[in-house]
């Protein structure tokens, strides 16, 4: 069953979403975060790995080539990442939003929260495009 997050982004639950990304080695950032469940809004601690424009999460912190992510968020589809302590009324909370969905996380410290926000923010900027391929093609055909 595809997650709401993935459905909102138009992704099916498929290995292609992380195919080619060696999430088990040299991540841009990794660590424990508590995330809110997609269907049942309980909070669960998960190991997150940010690499090549994708935010993966796992049940365990030992991530190997054989590990399969519990979920993947393509950060290029995200619009904002910002603190959410006032929204959730919880310390060290932040949110990651697309046009259709907002996902909430809680870090272990203020420093962790800021580091995650900065890392994800950089990744959004690096992997998002200000114009789509279609807009580039349209522009090229009008020359």
pLDDT digits (tens, 9 = 90+) for 92-124: 999 999 888 899 999 999 999 999 999 999 999
The span from the CA of 3 to the CA of 102, in Å, is: 13
CB 30, CB 50: distance < 8 Å:
yes
If you compute the radius of gyration of the chain from its CA atoms, what whole number of angstroms results? 16
Q: Which domains does the chain have, with CATH numbers?
A: 4-142 (2.30.29.30)
Higher pLDDT, 140 or 26: 26
Q: Which range has the top average pLDDT, 96-100, 130-134, 135-139? A: 96-100
pLDDT digits (tens, 9 = 90+) for 4-52: 455 444 444 456 667 689 999 999 999 999 998 877 889 999 999 999 9
CB 47, CB 30: distance < 8 Å:
yes
Contacts of 66 (CB under 8 A, 6+ apart): none
User: In the prediction, which pLDDT does 13 show?
Assistant: 45
The span from the CA of 50 to the CA of 26, in Å, is: 10
């Amino acid at each position: 069953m595809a997650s709401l997050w993935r459905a909102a982004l138009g992704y099916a639950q498929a290995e292609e979403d992380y195919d080619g990304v060696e999430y088990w080695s040299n991540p841009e950032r990794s660590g424990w975060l508590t995330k809110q469940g997609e269907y049942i809004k309980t909070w669960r601690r998960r190991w997150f790995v940010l690499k090549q424009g994708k935010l993966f999460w796992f049940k365990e912190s030992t991530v190997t080539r054989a590990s399969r992510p519990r979920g993947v968020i393509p950060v290029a589809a995200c619009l904002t990442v910002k603190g959410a302590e006032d929204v959730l009324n919880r310390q060290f909370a932040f949110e990651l939003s697309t046009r259709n969905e907002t996902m909430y996380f809680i870090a272990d410290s203020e420093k962790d929260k800021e580091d995650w926000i900065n890392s994800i923010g950089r990744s959004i900027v690096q992997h998002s495009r200000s114009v789509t391929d279609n807009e580039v093609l349209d522009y090229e055909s009008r020359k």
